[in-house]
Structure 1
Amino acid sequence: MSADLAEPDLAEPMAAPRDPLSGRSLFITGLGIGQICSWGSLYYSFPLLAQAMEHELGWSKPELYGAASLGLALGGIAAFPVGAAIDRGHGRLVMAAGAGLAGIALLAWSQVDGLRLFYVLVAAIGVLQAATLYEPAFAVVARRAGTAGARAGIIALTLWGGFASTVFVPLIQALLDHVGWRGTLVALGAVNLLLCAPLYAAVIRPSADQPTSPVHAAPLAETATLRQVMGSMVRRPTFWALAVAFTAFAATFSAFTFHLYPLLLERGIDTASVVIAMAIIGPAQVAGRIAISVWAPQAPVRVIGSVVVVAFPLSLLALAWMPPSFALVAGVAVLYGGANGIMTIVRGLAVPEMLTRQAYGAVNGALAAPAMIARAVAPAGAALLWAQSQSYGSALLVMAGGGAVLAVAFWVAALLSRRDHGTTF
């Protein structure tokens, strides 16, 4: 790294923020409620809606999940410009407008009868996820607290977001049972228009951003241009190891989340038990995040990540090889959910703790772009694997392989990061 881009020592975990960012603050509470609703309505809803549409319209799994993949791919392309826009102070506009447009797209989706319009609308929702889910929210938190103080805010935000599946999976199933998939989409659109968009507009205030944040304490050109920062990042092996790890994580998470509902039904678990199992993941995520904040509040993120990545291949292999039962499924949900909850924190803090504290939104967006494209391809890929054998067996083994790639790549990134900063593990 050149002298003009020299970073402060990032070996030690970031200090707690002086700005009052906590789970009780109005800022984090508003963002957190918005994240529950954004994740629940725009992401976790799709598998349940697709199952209902498949039964009513006769569309195949590859056709339905192809739309989700297209949307997520376009969201991956949008991740970098969205992060850069937030670095320039446009977080309120990005997230509030994104939620509002997502609400309109959901309302329009409720009226579709053909694949073409369905693909257009789901593609639009995929792009809008890049403006409303964790990546932009983390960047907004980094601007408010400064990247050196974002740790507490990001952890608090993920505690809120962890309840998205717990709240929305049972809610969506109840809506599907009573008003069908079209009525469910109307309700989800209203949530975005009437709750998410106003919340983001109210709590994201550029005037309250931390003036000492390296992201915007002075014009970026006075310290390093965005081109210089990104040029420095792409020359660092740690960046690429993290990119591989987060891409594998995104693909595994996406395939598992989008197909868990039909996968468990195929394995003979009844609908009510499937909904309960999926709802368990949310509290498990929150429990994992609380455990980190209580027992390892200052542990380096590379150490936390190196331990937790082991859980992904283990939980998926257990689901693939062990006899199906609700007890097994619940156990896998707890292990996978807890690991996923902690991994979300790792993903949010890896940039400032392992790479750089400059241009958080842009660097995080660059890491997120290939991950979001992998997240896009994974649901359609799993659907095609299912179509070949009419079974999820091979798809589960591929997901477990993705978990193994995640573990190895993150271990490499952790070792490289330790070397970069000359610290002991």
Structure 2
Amino acid sequence: MTTSAIEDLSRRRGAGAGWLITALGVAQICSWGSLYYSFPLLAEAMRLDLGWSKPQIYGAATLGMALAGLAAYPVGAAIDRGRGRYVMGGAAVAAGLLLVAWSQVSNVALFYVVLAGIGCLQAANLYEPAFAVITRRVGAGGARRGITALTLWGGFASTVFIPLIQLLIDLFGWRGALMVLGAINIVVCGGLYFFAIDPKKDHPVPVREPHEPLPLTGRKAVAWAVRRPVFWALMVAFIAYAAAFSTLTFHLYPLLLERGLTAAGVVAVMAVIGPAQVAGRILIWVFAPHAPVRSIGSIIVIIFPLAVIGFAWAPAEVIVIAAIAACYGAANGMITIVRGLAVPEMVSREAYGSINGILVAPMNLMQAASPLAAAWLWSITGGYDAVLIAVGAGALVLCIGFWTAAALARCVDRRSGEYAGASQKKSSPPI
């Protein structure tokens, strides 16, 4: 197949990917809502019913998130091999069955086993595998629009599912709520992932001349990527982001109470973050649809240390703190797009799932450990001042790491005359 024929076929398949994006978007709302945002509500209902302590319950969530980090690479590698339909569809069904099993637990050991399984399956059901599926379908060059659109869908997960889950708990108790969530995963998520992901419609692979190197895949692609400084700069940036984001996500409520806001005021502030994430993604969609991701990210990361300063020093007024939370939420929404596009635009256009899986694995591990570390720091110091200092330091590392990655990617662009990730000379792999 000639290059022009491949480009024409790619455009036609990209234009016909609307059903895939819509199906993945609906499924992502349900996956995020049932597997991620449901936990705090269900945990509190379990604590009141079973008398378990918060550390017992949240320790299981930490274990699950850690295992999600370990599962990221094999999931990405499987999607690179064209198995996205079975990986995501099968994981959704398995997650639904584990949610049903969760509804029947009455001892801590079984609870930990179930949450460990759900954590592993998150690696196959949330954004990263969906990004890999989109990239495989439309090609690395056409993935930006699809990934941005998918994050717009996913941004509504908390808005839809938090009130739904609370309603289910009120009507049926936490056990009944889990059974409904399990059915949603099996029927809605499993069905949509299976029927929407079609390997036959994946982006065509160009036919290479005999003297041209074969595209890198799997472990070879990862081995090539880890020899590039830009990969490590991105990893440092994303690990620092995970630490800051996870800490604020789990501790923002008590932190703002300690700052002097009322419980109603804190809820009002936190309600701003979800819509702000969607608004931030729309800003990129409208005003920067073709801007290099390194340029977008270099601006966005500045917001995080400024937000931490605001949470620490701004007057304890709901309107002021809500405005800071809106900026923080918008930055979070936009950084999700940056994370999804960083590999094809700054590292390599080949083996997206494998390389991205290795890149986000330590990020997921940090996301699991940070809330517990912050709680430990709070218990030692007796307040959130030290926690905010640590989060602020993480935000600064995020800035330095991403700026370094952007500078390295810009140097490659200058040498090759195209985005990092595009093919270089025939004698060397694409970057």
Q: Which TM class, normalised by the smaller chain length?
A: 0.7 to 0.9
Distance 2:217 2:146 in 1: 27
Which of 198, 201, 205 is equivalent to 1:205? 198
Quick check: 1:87 aligned with 2:80?
A: yes
Distance 2:35 2:322 in 1: 24
Distance 1:19 1:384 in 2: 54
Aligned to 2:278: 286
TM-score scaled to structure 1, two decimals?
A: 0.88
Which of 245, 253, 262 is equivalent to 2:245? 253
Which of 338, 344, 351 is equivalent to 1:346? 338
Q: CA offsets per residue over residues 80-106 of structure 1, 9 Å max, x none? A: 010000000000111111111111111
Q: CA offsets per residue over residues 130-178 of structure 1, 9 Å max, x none? A: 0000100000001110111111111111111111122122322333444
Distance 1:67 1:57 in 2: 15
Which of 296, 301, 311 is equivalent to 2:288? 296
Structure 1 residues 213 and 356 mapped into 2: Cα distance closer, same or farther (>3 Å)?
farther
Structure 1 residues 93 and 225 mapped into 2: Cα distance closer, same or farther (>3 Å)?
closer
Which moved further from structure 2: 389-398 or 358-367?
Answer: 389-398
Which of 312, 317, 320 is equivalent to 2:312? 320
Q: CA offsets per residue over residues 206-235 of structure 1, 9 Å max, x none? A: 111111479x999x9833353432222111
Residues 157-196 of structure 1 mapped to structure 2, 5 A cutoff: 157-196=150-189
- 3-state DSSP class of the match of 2:123? helix
Aligned to 1:3: none
Quick check: 1:44 aligned with 2:33?
A: no
Which moved further from structure 2: 179-188 or 299-308?
Answer: 179-188
Q: CA offsets per residue over residues 94-135 of structure 1, 9 Å max, x none? A: 111111111111122222222212211111111011000010
Distance 1:326 1:23 in 2: 45
Structure 1 residues 342 and 145 mapped into 2: Cα distance closer, same or farther (>3 Å)?
same
How many Å apart are 1:391 and its aligned residue? Answer: 4.5
Is the 1:92–1:201 Cα contact (8 Å) retained in structure 2? yes
Q: RMSD over aligned Cα, in angstroms?
A: 2.9
Larger Rg: 2
- 3-state DSSP class of the match of 2:214? helix
What 5-or-longer segments of structure 2 have no aligned partner? 1-9, 420-431
The letter of the residue matching 2:144 is R
What 5-or-longer segments of structure 1 have no aligned partner? 1-16
Is the 2:60–2:115 Cα contact (8 Å) retained in structure 1? yes
How many Å apart are 1:64 and its aligned residue? Answer: 2.5
Distance 1:289 1:24 in 2: 20
Structure 1 residues 98 and 393 mapped into 2: Cα distance closer, same or farther (>3 Å)?
farther
Structure 1 residues 92 and 279 mapped into 2: Cα distance closer, same or farther (>3 Å)?
farther
Distance 1:48 1:386 in 2: 23
Aligned to 1:238: 230
Distance 1:37 1:213 in 2: 36
Is the 2:137–2:203 Cα contact (8 Å) retained in structure 1? yes
Which of 109, 121, 124 is equivalent to 2:117? 124
Which moved further from structure 2: 53-62 or 75-84?
Answer: 53-62
Aligned to 2:364: 372
Which moved further from structure 2: 268-277 or 168-177?
Answer: 268-277
Aligned to 1:355: 347
Distance 1:393 1:62 in 2: 22
Q: CA offsets per residue over residues 23-61 of structure 1, 9 Å max, x none? A: 981110000011111111111222232233334444333
Which moved further from structure 2: 77-86 or 404-413?
Answer: 404-413
The letter of the residue matching 2:68 is G
Distance 1:396 1:60 in 2: 26
Distance 1:262 1:217 in 2: 61
Amino-acid identity (%): 57
Is the 2:221–2:354 Cα contact (8 Å) retained in structure 1? no
Paired positions, count = 409
Structure 1 residues 92 and 341 mapped into 2: Cα distance closer, same or farther (>3 Å)?
same
The letter of the residue matching 2:369 is V
The letter of the residue matching 1:302 is R
Structure 1 residues 272 and 124 mapped into 2: Cα distance closer, same or farther (>3 Å)?
farther
How many Å apart are 1:322 and its aligned residue? Answer: 2.9
How many Å apart are 1:370 and its aligned residue? Answer: 0.8
Distance 1:179 1:393 in 2: 40
Which of 220, 230, 254 is equivalent to 1:228? 220
Distance 1:92 1:243 in 2: 28
How many Å apart are 1:421 and its aligned residue? Answer: 2.4
How many Å apart are 1:308 and its aligned residue? Answer: 0.4
Is the 1:250–1:372 Cα contact (8 Å) retained in structure 2? yes
Which of 73, 90, 98 is equivalent to 1:97? 90
Structure 1 residues 163 and 105 mapped into 2: Cα distance closer, same or farther (>3 Å)?
same
Aligned to 1:13: none
Is the 2:217–2:351 Cα contact (8 Å) retained in structure 1? no
